[in-house]
Amino acid sequence: MSEKDLKPARPMMGFGRGPGSHNTIGRPIEKAKDFKGTLRRLLTYLKPHRVKFIIIFLATVVSTVFNIISPKVMGQAITKLFEGFLMKMKGLPNAAIDFKYIFNIILILIGIYVVSAIFNYIQQYIMADVAQKTVYEMRKDINAKLSRLPLKYFDGRTHGEILSRVTNDVDVISTTLQQSLTQLITSVVTLVGIVVMMLTISPMLTLIAFVTLPLSFLATKVIAQQSQKFFARQQKYLGQLSGQVEEMYTGHKIVKVFNYEKQSIDKFNKVNDQLYDAGWKAQFISGMIMPLMTAIGNLSYVVIAILGGIAVIRGKVTIGNIQAFIQYSREFSHPIVQTSNIANIIQSTIAAAERVFEVLDEAEQIPDQKDLLHLDQPKGDVKFEHIKFAYSKGKILIEDINIDVKKGQTIAIVGPIGAGKTTLVNLLMRFYEVNQGKITVDGIDIRDMERGKLRSLFGMVLQDTWLFKGSIKENIAYGREKATEEEIIQAAQVAYADHFIRTLPEGYDTILNEEANNISQGQKQLLTIARAILANPPILILDEATSSVDTRTEIYIQKAMLALMKGRTSFVIAHRLSTIRDADLILVMNQGSIIEKGTHQELLKQYGFYADLYNSQFVGLNLKEKVS
């Protein structure tokens, strides 16, 4: 007996992904496995926009530089104002404030702000263009890739996971390109610019401003580390809590019938307490970062103000320059914080890009060959020759299977639930490739046919009916383009669907909604049968399971299926004894492999799995036909 582990539970409700999470202070960061490689690859996407990037860079630099100059220019006006005022105070003759000079400075300032804004606009405009074009290309690549991926890829993943890569991850990349990249340039230029400006005013004061920097870094780092712990805990408890709530609501009836309410409430309260505890601590601690930074900033502000004041009194520096310096020193911690923030964003962006590239790197299905054969008038002879197949290496499901099916025969596939009955369907339609041997239709190897052509030979009526939003007419006509209204109605008649369609207020023009829950499960099946009849394929794949269908519709479905099967080669995943007994060949499957094959009588004589299965169904009942 092989022992196995149950898969661990998936964590619930991860947050921290998606464009909403652009504030990362103190929160855990997602990291890419291969940062450099992914970054390089992401850059190849940006390469076609090289020229635009240079323009963006220049525009950003110009806009930022002008922004940085403005305080110093303003300082000149203040100096002039101060000088004039001082002279007046001293009572000097001809003492006046040079308003003309100040007015000029104001004009210059306005000019600076306007130029800065224009360049900022240019930068934003081009960046938006580049960002959107890049993710447009990326989405196109992913979409093209998804259509080339084999079914195996989709079978092994949840829809949500694939969806999240196509939407969320691409969105993260888009937001980063759009905002964070220019922010990064701005921050770096601002930082450099401010330091330069500060140095030109007073190297001594600059040194003082710098002294407090390591202090604020250290404080931020220590606090962030603390808060990360609690954020992680908060995330964990939040997952547990939403899991618990979701679970109790989906199992509401069970919770009530088994009188589990009290225990459930206790459990909720416990997790809720834990979440509260972790939540307020995380918020409290991370909330301390900003005030602390401000306090440290204020500390250096006070020192600078005092020392600056002394320098002005001694006439070493002008008052306007000191005013500008204070403004600079207050602004310069901002780009530092922002840069470290953006560094985190870029990390999670690269992680997102990596997930996108993972999709793009998946192994594709074998492309169709050129000069393919195709059948003009397919008959529907199907042959499996020495088929060997395994979903994964080492676990062979089908070994040396030979089946010869003539046109119009019925093959019943039977076995317990989860026996892998769909494996055969997957192989026939070439959703998966056989490892050895070949499958032929009318003597032609299916690998020598175009996939689309091959699949058009098959009609499928499955238990999970697939209908789309649109009229009933359109849904039936899906299998054949350019079907006339008459043909559609004819097909519906053969499929016993005409009657119920006519009882609908809009008849054939009734619009099915997205889940098609405005008609019953059985009626949906009748529609898919009508669709198959209209498409008129030589080979059919049918799933007989008709649970949750009322008995009258069930009878219609049976009749419709029989009408459909007439003259066509049919592979039926069979549940009805009559179908199984009348089949030309029965394939018995268990645990993924074909364990017996033959006709009903042959198989009963083998006293094997089939005989057992057949008898067990009617154990305890006085069955007329019973094998003993």
Partner 1 sequence: MTSGRILVDGIDIRELTQEKLRAKIGLVPQKAVLFTGTVAENISFGTNDLPRDKIIRAAKIAQASDFISTLKQGYDAQIAQGGTNVSGGQKQQLSIARALAKHPEIYIFDDSFSALDFKTESKLRQALKKETEKDTVLIIAQRVTTIMDADRIMVLDGGRMVGMGTHQDLMKTCEVYREIVASQLSEEEWI
Binding residues (CB under 8 A) for partner 1: these are 1-10, 12, 243-244, 246-247, 250-251, 253-260, 263, 415-418, 547-548, 551-552, 554-555, 558, 576-578, 581, 612-613, 616-625
Q: Lay out the sheet containing 436-441: strands in order across.
A: 396-405, 382-390, 436-441, 444-445
Give helix 99-148 / helix 181-201 axis angle, nearest 10°.
Answer: 150
Q: How far apart, in whole angstroms, are the C-alpha atoms of residue 509 and residue 384? A: 43
Q: Are strands 410-414 and 444-445 parallel, antiparallel or unpaired?
A: unpaired
Closest to partner 1 by CB, 6 or 51: 6
Find the shortest distance in angstroms from Cβ 267 to partner 1. 10
CB closer to partner 1 out of 245 and 403: 245
Structure tokens, 468 = 């789309």
User: Smallest gap, in angstroms, from Cβ of residue 9 to partner 1?
Assistant: 4
Burial of 513 (0-12, 13-18, 19+ CB in 10 A): exposed
Q: State the Cα–Cα distance between residues 326 and 300, nearest whole angstrom.
A: 10
608 contact partners, CB below 8 Å, separation of at least 6: 588, 595, 596
How far apart are CB 351 and partner 1 at their closest, in Å? 25
Task: Return the number of the residue (9 or 51) whose C-beta is nearest partner 1.
Answer: 9
* DSSP for 363-396, written as a single string: PPPPPPPSS----SS----EEEEEEEEESSTT-E
Nearer to partner 1 by Cβ, of 77 and 560: the residue is: 560
Least separation in angstroms between CB 573 and partner 1: 13
Least gap, CB of 588 to partner 1 (angstroms): 12
Owner of token pair 């040194």: 207
Nearer to partner 1, 10 or 502 (CB): 10
Which amino acid would we find at residue 368? D
Cβ of residue 233: shortest distance to partner 1, in angstroms?
19
Least separation, in Å, of the C-beta of 583 and partner 1?
13
CB of 607 to partner 1, least distance (A): 15
Q: Shortest approach of partner 1 to residue 7 CB, angstroms?
A: 5
Comparison of 263 and 298: residue with beta carbon closer to partner 1: 263
CB of 177 vs partner 1, minimal distance in Å = 36
Which residues touch 371 (CB under 8 Å, ≥6 apart)? none
CB of 3 to partner 1, least distance (A): 5
Give, as one character, the DSSP assignment of residue 149.
S
Q: Which is nearer to partner 1, 266 or 362 (CB)?
A: 266
Q: How far is the CB of 246 from partner 1 (least distance, A)?
A: 7
* Residues 348 and 30: beta-carbon distance below 8 Å: yes
The conformation of residue 177, written as its DSSP 8-state character, comes to I
- Tell me the DSSP string of 244-263: HHHHHHHTHHHHHHTT-HHH
**Nearest to partner 1 of 62, 574 (CB atom):** 574
> Considering the complex, what minimum distance in angstroms separates the CB of residue 239 from partner 1?
10
Minimum Å gap between C-beta 18 and partner 1 is 22
Shortest reach from residue 365's CB to partner 1, in Å: 28
**Assigned token pair, 562:** 């029989």
Evaluate whether 457 touches 509 at the Cβ level (below 8 Å).
no
Considering beta carbons, is residue 392 or 622 the nearer one to partner 1?
A: 622
Q: Which is nearer to partner 1, 34 or 247 (CB)?
A: 247
Would you say 51 or 257 has its CB closer to partner 1?
Answer: 257
Q: Which is nearer to partner 1, 6 or 96 (CB)?
A: 6
User: At residue 289, what are phi and psi to the nearest 5 degrees?
Assistant: -60, -50
DSSP code of residue 477: G
H or E segment and range at residue 52: helix 50-90
Q: Distance (Å, rounded) from C-alpha 125 to C-alpha 110?
A: 22
With respect to partner 1, which residue has the nearer C-beta, 266 or 364? 266
Measure the CA–CA gap between 272 and 269, rounded to whole angstroms. Answer: 5
- For residues 96 and 58, what is the distance between their CA atoms, to the nearest angstrom? 42
Grouping H, G, I as helix, E, B as strand and the rest as coil, residue 605 is helix
In the complex with partner 1, which residue's Cβ is closer, 4 or 370?
4
Cβ distance 296 to 220 under 8 Å? no
Rounded Cα distance between 593 and 597, Å, is 11
Helix ranges, 258-332 (H): 261-313, 319-331
Per DSSP, helices labelled H in 176-260 are 181-201, 203-250, 252-257
How would you class 146 by CB atoms within 10 Å of its CB: exposed for 0-12, middle for 13-18, buried for 19 or more?
middle
Q: How far apart are CA 610 and CA 142, in angstroms?
A: 46
Of residues 60 and 423, the one with the C-beta less far from partner 1:
423
Angstrom distances, CA of residue 614 to CA of 231, 407, 424, 618: 58, 27, 22, 7
> By three-state DSSP, how is residue 441 classified?
strand
Contact present, 411 and 587 (Cβ < 8 Å): yes
Nearer to partner 1, 52 or 236 (CB): 236
Instruction: Read off the DSSP letter of residue 594.
Output: E
Beta carbon of residue 582, minimum distance to partner 1 (angstroms, whole number): 9
